[in-house]
Amino acid sequence: MKSFQLANESSPLSLSSSFILPEDRRPQFSQVSKLTSIPIIDFNNHGTNNDDGPSPLLIQKLSQACEEYGFFQVINHGVPSETCNKMMAAATEVFELPPEERGKFFTTDHTKPVKLYNFYLNVEGQGKVNMWSESFSHPWNHIEDFIHLLPKNGFQYREAFTEYAKEIRSLMNRLLSLISQGLGLQKDCLQKRLGEEPILKAQANYYPPCPDPELTLGLAVHTDLNALTVLMQSEGVTGLQVIKDGKWVAVDPVPNAFIVNLGDQIQVLSNGRYKSVHHRAVTNKMYPRVSLAMFYGPNKDSVIGPIEDLIDEEHPPMYRKYRYAEFLEEFYKQEGSRRMVKEGFQLQN
């Protein structure tokens, strides 16, 4: 196995103490439930493209997945596998660039549009613990504004990304419409609430093989702060785990599927009916793993709060309204911790 070097390090990656989590934060593989996985939703089986619109069964399945898991995999989603494969190859190539090339993108300044970084967790008494991964992120709208900043090499990242982003945008629109209908709302309701010019960010995560996956994590436990995430992952390599009924559940990779999960903003907009669920990425000894998350978040000026139609005597508002910029500010303040952002906007009923 080729060794990997983080862009901000001066020697090849090794499992030094700076990556080792205290015992109570370790993945504890023996506790991971093998009994269940997240629901799989087949767009072909339920017809989403006919003139009559999506079938009630599809909406019902999706709604149930959003309530019970906050996560599902979608198959036969209509995004050509060639587009996905090209994108995966291009994203992988970024992490195969020599560390000094990748280093040009390295920054801890989150306001930079194109950036490479290594996540960490602040652990009491131990300080920063680095995650066993490297992430590369940039916006995925107005590609023309930053495309010249993206890596030029290899598998034509720029072309692959432009094509992929177009497909994912239309898949996201379809998902938002289905999720709105699942909540019993007009199909354009969520998209309107999130606002024009949503914040669209892409994040490619690279998890090199790890000598002892029991000691560290690829990504710390978190919920996504945005509204909706569509994730593509390396074929055949498991890594993502989600919480279900208080237990960690591994997400089995399904060929050509996307993993879809709801972010904090949908939990707030749905007044807690749909869940933004805690998840994490674990590492493995054998194979590098790449995942590419496409995040769809509100415009920073959009006002987010429980949708009025979802509030009644039985379901009083669980959150106060806020401008998304306010949420983001709080999010960045909590960097390095197990973030509890939406909890700060919760109302005491």
Ligand X SMILES: O=C(O)CCC(=O)C(=O)O
In the complex with ligand X, which residue's Cβ is closer, 177 or 291? 291
Q: Among 94, 121, 210, 219, which residue sits at the site for ligand X (rule: CB under 6 A)?
A: 219
Residue 1 burial class via C-beta count within 10 angstroms: exposed 0-12, middle 13-18, buried 19 and up = exposed
Residue 65 burial class via C-beta count within 10 angstroms: exposed 0-12, middle 13-18, buried 19 and up = buried
When asked if residue 183 is in the footprint of ligand X (CB under 6 A), the reply is no
| CA atoms within 13 Å, Cβ hemisphere of 129 | 23
Q: Point out which residues pair with 74 in neighbouring strands.
A: 41, 258
Q: How far is the CB of 144 from ligand X (least distance, A)?
A: 25
Q: How far is the CB of 241 from ligand X (least distance, A)?
A: 9
Q: Which does 213 bind (CB under 5 to 8 A by kind): Fe ion, ligand X, none?
A: none
Query: Under rule CB under 5 A, which residues in 221-240 are in contact with Fe ion?
Result: 224
Residue 101 burial class via C-beta count within 10 angstroms: exposed 0-12, middle 13-18, buried 19 and up = middle
Q: Which does 249 bind (CB under 5 to 8 A by kind): Fe ion, ligand X, none?
A: none
Q: Which of 123-131, 144-152, 193-201, 232-240 is the region at the interface with ligand X (rule: CB under 6 A)?
A: 232-240
In the complex with ligand X, which residue's Cβ is closer, 61 or 280? 280
Q: Among 130, 177, 203, 216, which residue sits at the site for ligand X (rule: CB under 6 A)?
A: 203
When asked if residue 9 is in the footprint of Fe ion (CB under 5 A), the reply is no
Q: Which does 233 bind (CB under 5 to 8 A by kind): Fe ion, ligand X, none?
A: ligand X
Q: Which of 96-104, 138-146, 168-176, 231-239 is the region at the interface with ligand X (rule: CB under 6 A)?
A: 231-239
In the complex with ligand X, which residue's Cβ is closer, 219 or 268? 219
Q: Which does 239 bind (CB under 5 to 8 A by kind): ligand X, Fe ion, none?
A: ligand X
Q: Nearest CA to 246 among 34, 64, 32?
A: 32
Distance CA 151, CA 158 (A): 8
Give the number of other CB atoms < 10 A from CB of residue 273. Answer: 19
In the complex with ligand X, which residue's Cβ is closer, 185 or 232? 232
When asked if residue 281 is in the footprint of ligand X (CB under 6 A), the reply is yes
Query: Under rule CB under 6 A, which residues in 233-252 are in contact with ligand X?
Result: 233, 239-240
- Contact 280/220 with Cβ under 8 angstroms? yes
CA diameter of the chain: 60
Place of tokens 């190539």: 93
Binding site for ligand X (CB under 6 A): 203, 205, 219, 224, 231, 233, 239-240, 279, 281, 291, 293
